[in-house]
């Protein structure tokens, strides 16, 4: 299960192709890194 920003969860990853899931995971990690960087600026 992948938890997204705002608490939304993708719990049906079988509905997506493995390539799409891989892209989503990369994007989620990128957003997490950005969010942490922005939080450090506060």
40 C-beta neighbours (distance < 10 Å), count:
7
- What does residue 10 show for φ and ψ, rounded to 5 degrees? -95, 100
Structure tokens at 34: 């950005």
Selected residue with higher pLDDT from 35 and 15:
35
Selected residue with higher pLDDT from 1 and 31:
31
pLDDT tens-digit readout, 4-28: 555 555 666 677 788 988 888 899 8
Please provide the DSSP assignment of 1-42 as one string.
-EEPGGG-EE--GGGS-HHHHHHHHHHHHHHHHHHHHHHHT-
Q: Tell me if 3 sits within 8 A of 32, measured CB to CB.
A: no
With a cut of 90, say whether residue 33 has pLDDT above it: yes
Q: What is the pTM of this model?
A: 0.58
Selected residue with higher pLDDT from 2 and 28:
28
The ranges assigned to domains in the chain are 2-40
């Amino acid at each position: 299960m992948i938890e997204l920003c705002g608490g939304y969860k993708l719990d049906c990853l079988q509905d997506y192709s493995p390539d799409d899931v891989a892209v989503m995971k990369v994007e989620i990690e990128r957003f997490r890194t950005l969010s942490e960087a922005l939080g450090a600026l506060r």
